[in-house]
Amino acid sequence: MTPSNGSMMLILSSPSGAGKTTLTKKIQQKYPNFKISVSHTTRKPRSNEIEQIDYFFISHKEFEEKISNNEFYEYAKIFDNFYGTSRNSVNELLKKNDSILFDIDWQGTQQLSKFKELKLIKIFLLPPDKKELKNRLVQRNQDNIAIISKRLKAYDNDIHHWSDYDHVIINDNLEHCFSQIEKIILSEKNSTS
């Protein structure tokens, strides 16, 4: 199923802690025609997360069954947990002519990119540097030290995948970064209308 009627499929990826979830929510607030593709995950919910809004939280067994049934456009194992994009939920959004926002990592982007019928706009967000990333991970106070160091280790691998994307933006300032994403959205809208 392909997007029609000027709808867009926008991917935001970044190393953990570089701001993609915050920016995804900002885009959806300003552009209500963008719907966030809610991923399935085997991760336990954080205290501020809501079932079916942030994620569909399921067991490892349920996730593996969905993999066997080919129910995901993409999935990846990240820090001992699975994350995946349901074909069904994406196709439902496309039927309604909604634009879709994907908050996924580089592994998911590579898998989604194989579906040539999906017209994807891929944006890779980077923090200014690794030291700033560490500060952000510590300040958001969501993970223990062991997980923070896993995320920092993964950063070195994550940044090598920037060339898979159409646009790379350094998130040194949230508002500035958001306005750069808006320019991309508007330019894409103009090119399809």
Q: Is residue 32 part of a domain?
A: yes
CATH number of the domain residue 123 falls in: 3.40.50.300
Q: Is residue 1 part of a domain?
A: no
Tell me the pLDDT band of 127, cut-offs 50, 70 and 90. Answer: confident
20-68 pLDDT, tens digit per residue, is 888 998 999 999 999 999 999 999 998 889 999 889 999 999 999 999 9
The per-residue pLDDT for 132 is 81
Dihedral in degrees, nearest 10, Cα atoms 78, 167, 19, 148: 40
Q: Is residue 3 part of a domain?
A: no
Q: Would the pTM of this model clear 0.85, i.e. be above it?
A: no
85-126 pLDDT, tens digit per residue, is 999 999 999 899 899 999 888 989 999 999 888 889 999 999
Instruction: Look at the chain and report how many structural domains it folds into.
Output: 1
